Amino acid sequence: MTQAIVDIRPHESDLLAQIATVHIAEIPDGFLTSLGPAVLTDMYKTIAESEGSFIVACVTDDREILGFLAGSLGIRSLYREFLRLRGMRSMIRLGFALLSPSRMGRILETLRYSTSDEDAKNLPRAEILNFCVARHGHRQGLGGQLMHASEDRFRSANIDRIRIVTGQSQLSAQSFYKKIGANYVCDVEIHSGTLSTMFTWEISAEESHPELQRQSLSLDPTRDTEGQS
C-alpha cells in the first residue's frame, strides 16, 4: 500500500467524511466532536473551500485517510465563511441539541476566541486548527510529514509564525510540538473549566524547518490536537 501527502479539495466528499470520522475517533471528548459527523464534515468542507485555509492529509492509494492537518491564516474570517455558507444547515442538523445551555455556551466561547484581539497579545493570526493521525497510522512519522506540508502552505502565504493550541492534558502532542521547536506561550481557558496550552512556531524561511529536517521520520503525536475546539 502506497500513501502520499495531498491537499484535500472541497469536492472530495468521501475524504472529508473520513476526516470527520478520524477527528471523532481520535478526539472523542472535543467540542467539535460533540456537534456530530455531519456538522464536522461541513466545517472541514468550508476549510477546504476557503482561500485562507487548507487541509493536508496522508491518503493511501485506496483513498483511506491516515492523518490530516487543517490550518488557517485567520479563524475569524473562516468562521464567518462557515456561518454564511453552512450556518443555517448546521443549526437545523443540530436541532434540539442547541437547546442545551452547555453546548450553546461552548459555541459562544469558540466564537469569542475567534474574535480575540491577536494584535494586543502579539499573537499570530495564522493557526493550526486540528491535527489528527489515525490510530493505525501512529509511529509511521506521519506527524512530521504533515507538519512539513503545512509549513510549505504557510510559507507560500508569506506567513512567518503561527499559533498552535492543544489540550493541557495532551502531553504527547505537547512533546511533539516542543521537539519541532515550538515555543510555549501560556495556558488559556477557551472553554470554561478546560485549560489548553498555546504555542507559537516559527515558519522557517528555508525549504523545511531545521528541527523537522533532523527528526521528521521519528516524529508523530500519539495523542492528537484539537485546536480551539
Mean per-residue pLDDT, 38-45:
91
pTM of structure: 0.81
Sign of the alpha-carbon torsion through 185, 153, 8, 82: positive
H runs (alpha helix) in 95-182: 101-114, 142-156, 171-179
Classified as helix, coil or strand, 191 is strand
Per-residue confidence band for 200, with pLDDT thresholds at 50, 70 and 90:
very high
Instruction: Report which of 25, 70, 77, 37 is spatially closest to residue 165, judged by C-alpha positions.
Output: 70
What percent of the chain stands above pLDDT 70? 73
> Between 29 and 127, where is the model more confident?
127
Measured over the CA atoms of residue 169, residue 209, residue 201 and residue 73, the dihedral's sign is: negative
Q: What is the pLDDT of residue 103?
A: 55
Higher pLDDT, 139 or 7: 7
- CA-to-CA dists, residue 151 to 104, 147, 191, 206, angstroms: 34, 6, 28, 10
Cα separation, 127 vs 143, whole angstroms: 16
Confidence band (pLDDT; 50, 70, 90) for 6? very high
Res 123 pLDDT > 80: yes
Q: What is the pLDDT of residues 52-71, one digit of tens each?
A: 999 999 999 999 999 999 99
* CATH code for the domain of 38: 3.40.630.30
pLDDT, position 212: 64
pLDDT grade, residue 117 (50/70/90)? low
Check pLDDT > 90 for residue 110: no
Residue range 164-193: mean pLDDT, rounded: 86
Between 41 and 87, name the one with better pLDDT: 41
Q: Rounded to whole angstroms, how far apart are CA atoms 180 and 94?
A: 38
pLDDT for res 61 = 94
Q: Which domain holds residue 210?
A: 3-226
Give the pLDDT score at 76: 80
Q: How many domains does the chain have?
A: 1
pLDDT band at 33 (very low <50, low <70, confident <90, very high): confident
Residue the block writes with cell 478520524: 22
Identity of the residue numbered 138: H
